[in-house]
């Protein structure tokens, strides 16, 4: 396929991005698949989101908050995971909808779907059928608990997966499971999925054939267990929540000062000696001389540190810690994050022109290439906004290649 032919509508800078010319058909809804599709769109791919007529992606109805008027409510949830996409509607249960999807698949490089296992097969789009239509198609399939195994048929929702995959058991205070404040299982599945797609596209350059990339909410969370996972698999220790303090490094966490909270991360013995000097603790105290001892005596040490921090403001301590070379920081609310000049300097707040809301600001993509700030992003689309333009594009391709 000539990847210079297919440009992303509404993305002025898409032609300069790594995936310029690639076409992604996004059949997914909610968050995991849409997040993967948005990542590919941020990288310059043309992402065509196929939605059910009438209501579209489930997340279009998730709120409040909604933006716009009562007659034109726009879900802020939907806007969080659907920038840089085009929206078309098609009933995949109908012959017409299936024919339309077949035409899209012929032109696509990637298909993203998060149906339950077997649903696409019933529509006539099994993996074998998809590769008959387009042998080079890379298929990203995201499920809740995996496409096979005893729990393959279960519906996958983020909080259920956070619990089932153990994340809630190590988040929050001991004995008080707590979910993460964003749908992290969905987001991780989307990130892993997009990463797998990129690898499959690179492989296709050698083989000419597309591959099926599979991940799940369960797999995505287990994939980031990190040292908590090896605490069990290697040491036989079942981790529990450790609140706002690191389970294996002390001091490393949230502390209270006279006027609020601050965070400190002491990651080495050199840093420990510098930190101890700031707070007036003997670094060679036999209870605290090594990290292993500090973990053992964590509660005593945290109490000592907080007694010291309570004598002055957060800004006072952050200034001293910075001078001593100790990683530290504030706990910002989200409005403070988006107002922070450092956030804005990294291109993490972007302007888009929305067909209903007008100028709107969205969180921006986290990647930069050659130091360039992101530009030319398209607003999340209205339902069916690109029905005419996408079908016209397909007609033009069919006319140019009648075969």
pLDDT at 399: 87
Strands 23-26 and 110-113: parallel
Domains of the chain are 14-224+344-400 (3.40.50.10540), 252-332 (3.30.1540.10)
Kindly report the average pLDDT of the chain as a whole number: 93
Q: What is the pLDDT of residues 217-275, one digit of tens each?
A: 999 999 999 999 999 999 999 999 999 999 999 999 999 999 999 999 999 999 999 99
**DSSP string computed for 318-386:** HHHHHHTT-EEEE---HHHHHH-HHHHHTT-EEEEEETTTEEEEEEPPS--STTPPP--PPPPPPTTTT
The C-alpha atoms of residue 113 and residue 98 are separated, in whole angstroms, by 15
Q: Please indicate whether residue 186 is annotated as part of the active site.
A: yes
Is the peptide bond between 251 and the residue preceding it cis, with omega within 30 degrees of 0?
yes
DSSP character at residue 245: B
Averaged over 135-159, what is the pLDDT?
94
Integer distance in angstroms from the first to the last C-alpha of the chain? 15
Q: What is the pLDDT of residues 77-113, one digit of tens each?
A: 999 999 999 999 999 999 999 999 999 999 999 999 9
The C-alpha atoms of residue 177 and residue 270 are separated, in whole angstroms, by 34
Report the predicted TM-score, pTM, of the whole model to 2 decimal places.
0.91
Question: Active-site residue among 42, 109, 158, 186?
Answer: 186
Longest Cα–Cα distance in the chain: 81
Q: What is the pLDDT of residues 337-351, one digit of tens each?
A: 999 999 999 999 999
The 10 Å CB-count burial string (b at 16+, else e) for 213-242 is bbbbbbbbbebebeebeebeeeeeeebbbb
Is the peptide bond between 259 and the residue preceding it cis, with omega within 30 degrees of 0?
no
Beta bridge partners of 110: 24, 138
Q: Show the CA angle centred on residue 382, arms to residues 379 and 385, nearest 5°.
A: 105
- 185, 221 contact by CB (below 8 A): yes
Q: Check pLDDT > 80 for residue 11.
A: no
The C-alpha atoms of residue 362 and residue 347 are separated, in whole angstroms, by 11
Q: Check pLDDT > 90 for residue 117.
A: no
Residue of higher predicted confidence among 189 and 154:
189
The C-alpha atoms of residue 343 and residue 330 are separated, in whole angstroms, by 14
pLDDT at 6: 58
pLDDT at 153: 84
Residue of higher predicted confidence among 180 and 71:
180
């Amino acid at each position: 396929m000539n990847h210079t032919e297919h440009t992303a509508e509404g993305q002025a800078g898409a032609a300069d991005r790594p995936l310029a010319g690639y076409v992604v058909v996004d059949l997914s809804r909610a968050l995991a698949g849409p997040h993967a599709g948005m990542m590919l769109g941020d990288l310059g791919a043309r992402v065509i989101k196929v939605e059910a007529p009438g209501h579209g992606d489930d997340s279009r109805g998730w709120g409040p908050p909604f933006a716009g008027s009562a007659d034109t409510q726009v879900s802020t949830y939907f806007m969080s995971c659907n920038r840089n996409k085009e929206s078309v509607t098609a009933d995949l249960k109908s012959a017409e909808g299936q024919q339309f999807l077949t035409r899209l698949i012929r032109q696509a490089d990637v298909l993203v779907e998060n149906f339950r296992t077997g649903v696409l097969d019933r529509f006539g789009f099994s993996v074998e059928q998809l590769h008959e239509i387009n042998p080079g198609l890379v298929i990203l399939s995201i499920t809740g608990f995996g496409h096979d195994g005893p729990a393959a048929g279960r519906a996958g929702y983020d909080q259920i997966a956070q619990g089932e995959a153990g994340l809630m058991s190590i988040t929050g205070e001991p004995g008080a499971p707590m979910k993460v404040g964003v749908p992290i299982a969905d987001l991780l599945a989307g990130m892993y999925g997009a990463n797998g797609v990129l690898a499959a596209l690179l492989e296709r350059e050698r083989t000419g054939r597309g591959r099926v990339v599979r991940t799940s909410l369960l797999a995505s969370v287990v994939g980031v267990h990190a040292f908590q996972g090896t605490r069990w698999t290697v040491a036989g220790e079942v981790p529990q929540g450790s609140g706002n303090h690191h389970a294996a490094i002390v001091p490393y966490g949230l502390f209270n000062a006279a006027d609020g909270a601050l965070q400190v991360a002491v990651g080495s013995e050199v840093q420990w000696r510098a930190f101890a000097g700031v707070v007036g603790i003997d670094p060679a105290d036999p209870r605290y001389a090594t990290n292993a001892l500090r973990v053992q005596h964590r509660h005593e040490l945290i109490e000592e540190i907080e007694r010291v921090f309570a004598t002055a403001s957060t800004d006072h301590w952050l200034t001293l810690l910075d001078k001593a070379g100790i990683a530290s920081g504030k706990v910002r609310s989200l409005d403070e994050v988006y107002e922070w000049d450092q956030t804005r300097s990294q291109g993490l707040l972007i302007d888009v022109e929305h067909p209903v809301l007008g100028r709107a600001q969205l969180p921006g993509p986290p990647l930069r290439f050659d130091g360039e700030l992101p530009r030319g992003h398209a607003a999340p689309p209205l339902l069916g906004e690109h029905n005419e333009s996408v079908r016209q594009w397909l007609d033009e391709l069919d006319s140019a290649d009648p075969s």
